[in-house]
Amino acid sequence: MHRSEEDYLFIMKQYKWQIILSSILVFLPAAAGLCLLAIGAGSATSEAGGIASSVADGRLKAMIVTSLFCLLNHFLAVWLTLRDPKNRKRNQQMIGFIFWICPIISIFSCGTMYRIYTGASADQGTGISVCMGLMFIALGNYLPKTGQNHTVGIRVPWTLADEENWNATHRFGGRVWVVGGFLTMIGSFLPGALGHRVVPAALLVVALAPIVYSYLYHRRQRKQRTLSETQTSQSVQMGPKRMDSNQMDVGLKNAGQASAEYDKTGNAEKTAYSRRAGHKKTAYSGRTGHEEKNAYGESISPETKNAPLARKRSIYATSAISLGILAVILIGTAVLMLTGNIRCEFADDAFTINAFYWDDLTVAYDEIDSLELREYGVPGYRSFGFGNMRLGMGTFENEEFGSYTRYTYAGSRPCLVIESGGETLVLNGKNEAETLALYERLKTEISN
């Protein structure tokens, strides 16, 4: 077995109990959700059927998916962190943070979902944003203490190639992440669309500002290095100092001794210094092979000779992976924030709301107690569900209805208020015309 693989297995055994315990804690909410679905917990909502039953099942499924997603991220983060030898020696605090961040997120977010499932009042969006802000603040304090490695931190070509750039970027990044954490927490309490703009903007700054800083720092270093090399070359071009007579005598004497030694052996050692590698190459005449040695006379293996090239390839590969992951996250966030649709399908005895990013909902016509068109919309804040700059779906709360279910577009003010079995559903279309069409269609189906 390769030495690095043996080291990795040894480290895994060393952290065995931390891995087992943290993984169990991450998976606990998923296990609880599966048990609740299996035994039919919350039978009151299940027997009620309609809107209440569909929403309750959706909350349990969301809790299970969230927990499993956290578990997958936990395994990936632990594996990548322990594989890097640099992390094992220098980043003990960060390793501890990696072990326990996913359990905290899983238990907090799923606990909020369970509270809403049981009927307790809780604002899930605000809670998750506050948790995210606290995480950024904690990471911001850890970042400056993170040593250079290929797993944890701001891994771009300029930080991986230069330790000074790494340290400066992580000091700056730590401050940015702390500020971004506070902005995320503040944005979670802002009303409606304003909060939806502040939180993504803070996340974008947290993700991009350290990368831009690292690049600018790299350019400044390169400019200073170029200026220093130019000054050095100019001083060299001024020419060497003229040797005095004593120095000339010593030089001639050494040259004569070297010539005599060459005549005696006939197999002189020829030495050339490599300007790039910083070692001297020694070739022996009369031998069939060619052997390279360093300045201490030690043989240079091909692996050692090619080490700088291998390190460059490793840096480029790690940077490409990191930038690729960042690009996927930013693109995915943009898609989630700007896309999505709500579509209603009408059958003979019921209509179904098909929604992107959220559970579908079916309501029977004979279960609808009342239908009302509100021209100026219905206020409320989301306590559980999905929301972006285009859609608002899930469980909302306001003073008039208390807790109610909502499937609405953000830019369309008129909406329908549907009462069914003691539950309230708020619905609209992409625009006023589509909302009016939904109202007329539902009024016709109810009257039949």
Q: DSSP string covering 43-79, please? A: HHHHHH-HHHHHHHHHHHHHHHHHHHHHHHHHHHHHH
Nearest CA among 201, 225, 45 for reference residue 118: 45
Q: Are residues 99 and 9 in the same domain?
A: yes
Domain boundaries, position 94: 3-220+308-338
388 by DSSP, 3-state: which? coil
255 domain residue, yes or no: no
96 domain residue, yes or no: yes
Domain count, the chain: 2
Q: Are residues 332 and 443 in the same domain?
A: no
- Flag residues of the chain having pLDDT under 50: 1, 3, 41-48, 252, 262-289, 295-296
425 domain residue, yes or no: yes
Confidence at residue 139, expressed as pLDDT on a 0 to 100 scale: 84
Assigned token pair, 146: 């993170």
Q: Are residues 330 and 354 in the same domain?
A: no
238 domain residue, yes or no: no
Contacts of residue 214, Cβ cutoff 8 Å, sequence gap at least 6? 154, 156, 158, 159, 165, 168, 169
CATH for 373 = 2.30.29
Confidence at residue 277, expressed as pLDDT on a 0 to 100 scale: 44
DSSP state of 146: P
Q: Are residues 169 and 53 in the same domain?
A: yes
Confidence at residue 131, expressed as pLDDT on a 0 to 100 scale: 78
Q: Distance (Å, rounded) from C-alpha 346 to C-alpha 363?
A: 10
Confidence at residue 259, expressed as pLDDT on a 0 to 100 scale: 52
pLDDT digits over 152-167, tens only? 788 888 888 888 999 9
Q: Distance (Å, rounded) from C-alpha 2 to C-alpha 215?
A: 36
Confidence at residue 436, expressed as pLDDT on a 0 to 100 scale: 93
As to burial, measured by CB atoms within 10 angstroms (0-12 exposed, 13-18 middle, 19+ buried), residue 302 is: exposed
The backbone region for 243, taken as left when phi is positive above 0, alpha when psi lies in -120 to 50, beta otherwise, is beta
Q: Are residues 118 and 171 in the same domain?
A: yes
> What one-letter code names the amino acid at 339?
T
Q: Are residues 63 and 165 in the same domain?
A: yes
The backbone region for 113, taken as left when phi is positive above 0, alpha when psi lies in -120 to 50, beta otherwise, is alpha
Q: Are residues 78 and 183 in the same domain?
A: yes
395 domain residue, yes or no: yes
Q: Are residues 348 and 422 in the same domain?
A: yes
Q: Are residues 27 and 78 in the same domain?
A: yes
pTM reported for the whole predicted model: 0.53
Q: Are residues 325 and 368 in the same domain?
A: no
